[in-house]
Amino acid sequence: GESVGLHLPTLSVQEGDNSIINCAYSNSASDYFIWYKQESGKGPQFIIDIRSNMDKRQGQRVTVLLNKTVKHLSLQIAATQPGDSAVYFCAENNFGNQFYFGTGTSLTVIP
């Protein structure tokens, strides 16, 4: 079966520092990945996605890196702000309409 997991369940960073959140996946056939942010009391919010024909994609203050060799995905947040405090999780897809989600990493930004 699918296995999407995160290396660390919690992460604390100082405001202004960069954050790196990691995700491992087990299905080498997965070719589409999404990072979601979920704040307390809210539903998951799309942050950025990447397809397997790319190894890096940048958004506003966020960068997603994909390493297909080791089946690893990371989300980098530049200049982390208090509003970035949330649970972040990745989702993978392999040609179907079903995504497999990780359990999430809780990011806490220390002012």
How many residues touch another protein under the rule CB under 8 A: the total is: 24
Binding residues among 36-95 for another protein as defined by CB under 8 A: 36, 41-46, 49, 89, 91, 93, 95
Closest to another protein by CB, 69 vs 97, is: 97
Q: By CB under 8 A, name the one of 26, 98, 108, 110 that touches another protein.
A: 98
Closest listed residue to residue 89, CA positions, set 6, 3, 2: 6
Q: What are phi and psi of 84, to 5 degrees?
A: -85, -10
Q: For residue 3, count other CB atoms closer than 10 A to its CB.
A: 12
Contact at 8 Å (CB) between 110 and 45? Answer: no
Interface contacts to another protein, rule CB under 8 A = 4, 31-32, 34, 36, 41-46, 49, 89, 91, 93, 95-103
